[in-house]
Structure 1
Amino acid sequence: MSASAKTFSSSAKTGNIHIDPTGFVKLGSQLPALANTLSQAIDTLSLSLSDTQQRTLLLYLDQLLLWNKAYNLTAITDPKEALIKHVIDCLAIITHLPSGSLLDIGTGAGLPAVIIAICQPERQCTALDSNQKKIRFIKQISSELGLTNMQPIASRIEAHEASYDVVTSRAFASLIDFVNVAHPRLADGGYLCAMKGKAPSDEELQALESDWQIKTIKLNVPQLHDSRHLIELSYKNV
């Protein structure tokens, strides 16, 4: 991988931030426009991210696209589409996440784990996936970006034994399946947080509500017109 996220200067002004183009490979001439789109989204989402954090998010996007073919990371190859559907989509959950250590199940290319780790350096994040190649990518990008709070692990969730305050996932089609595999990894008083497109069906909610307190949060993802929700579940101590 190329470039370090630690390098920062004000050689190119874009929106409210100054982006040093050094080290960017795939974004190229699109960097100023993408930086502006990202900055506007951050403002819309009421996030407080430094210029360095915003540059780090763009470097992650650049490396995601650069190494996509080698690691089979995403079907999206257009930089602006990838920025919106991957980076900004994950940014939309940041203000809604409970505090504490976090496990991201089926993390793939590190979504949302890497995005959370960049935005919340005080939070310890574990990215879990059974795909060795994708975990290798996360290890490389975490080192490149200086993410000391990121621990990538290649494993199936059933073989992982640690417990966490928050367990996230962006990959599970079924909310019930996510709850079934995730709840053994949840610390006492912890939260399951599932990123979903559509809100859960009545059938899914009815199957879970006897044991779980469920909160459905409708997300507003800037420049994304598709439906997005975050489902927060906490275990009922009854």
Structure 2
Amino acid sequence: MSAFAKTAALSANSGTTDSGVNSIDPTGFVKLGGQLPKLATILAQAVDKLGLTLTEAQQRALLLYLDQLLLWNKAYNLTAITHPEEALIKHVIDCLAIIPHLPSGSLLDIGTGAGLPAVIIAICQPERSCTALDSNQKKIRFIRQISSELGLSNVQPIASRIEAHDASYDVVTSRAFASLIDFVEVAQPRLAPSGRLCAMKGKAPTDEERQSLAETWQINTIKLNVPGLNESRHLIEMFGKND
């Protein structure tokens, strides 16, 4: 038995969940190294708490994404978070928390950065077509590379500003916009009839934001509980009142 398998088995025997943990192959991991068993356990527990059903292969793909994110961070300037456990929680698990609440259909992720949440969603929902849009060429290059390595045929990385993109989607999401009003302004033209806007936010919408959007948009605020994260998180779902 490998050192990885022994450590994971010990974790499982000590009472932690073993959903996919003690069979995740450490081959191919570069940055996570000896932390892989612990991170695999944290991820498996989070998946269980969020009520998601992910295979061992999907959980391994999420950890490989994290590994490559940290490996290529300096070259592509992908994240300010460099500690593996913190990055797992604040990036991967944070994105996993929205998946149970997402409407079905094709998805556009505006300002996707390193592919958050687009790549995470694509790993977990291979039946969904996910377009990852960002004007930063380096970050799109990273998404293209990691999607190829993970065999994600449902990800389409596009280097473009949203104003220059003209397709329409059932779901438009983002975790990049500080202003909900700004997000609605740029996202609405890309929304298919009866589609949904889904904004990842820390805080719930302000009264000013609600009042500004209330005439034309139905706003549903979903409070998220992100395992391991003691910070406020919300998913703001919006659809046109005439839909």
Q: Which TM class, normalised by the smaller chain length?
A: over 0.9
Q: What SS class does the counterpart of residue 152 from structure 1 fall into?
A: strand
Equivalence for 1:34: 39
- 1:181-192 counterparts in 2 under 5 A? 181-192=186-197
Please give the per-residue CA displacement for 1:31-78, whole angstroms capped at 9, x wherever unaligned: 000000000000000000000000000000000000000000000000
- In structure 1, distance between residues paired with 2:104 and 2:25: 32
- Deviation at 1:237? 1.0
- Mark the runs of 5 or more structure 1 residues left unpaired by the alignment: 1-10
Q: TM-score, normalised by structure 2?
A: 0.93
The equivalent of 1:12 in structure 2 is 5
Corresponding position of 1:231: 236
Whether 1:210 aligns to 2:203 is no
- Aligned residue number for residue 66 of structure 2: 61
Amino acid at match of 2:68: Q
**Count of residue pairs the alignment pairs up:** 229
Residue 19 of structure 1 and its aligned partner are, at CA, apart by: 1.0
Aligned to 2:14: none
Shift of 1:121: 0.1
2: CA distance, partners of 1:16 / 1:216: 31
CA RMSD after TM alignment: 1.2
Among all aligned residue pairs of Structure 1 and Structure 2, give the percentage whose two residues are the same amino acid: 80
The CA deviation at 1:16 is 2.5
2:50 matched to which residue of 1?
45
Secondary structure of the 2:103 match is coil
Q: Of the candidates 124, 130, 139, which is equivalent to residue 129 of structure 2? A: 124
Q: Cα deviation per residue 1:80-125 (whole Å; 9 max; x = unaligned)?
A: 0000000000000000000000000000000000000000000000
Partner of 1:4: none
Q: What's 1:170 paired with?
A: 175
- The letter for the 2-side match of 1:91 is L
Aligned partner letter, 1:200: P
The reply to whether residue 219 of structure 1 matches residue 224 of structure 2 is yes
Q: List 4+ stretches of structure 1 deviating above 4 A.
A: none
TM-score normalised to the size of structure 1? 0.95
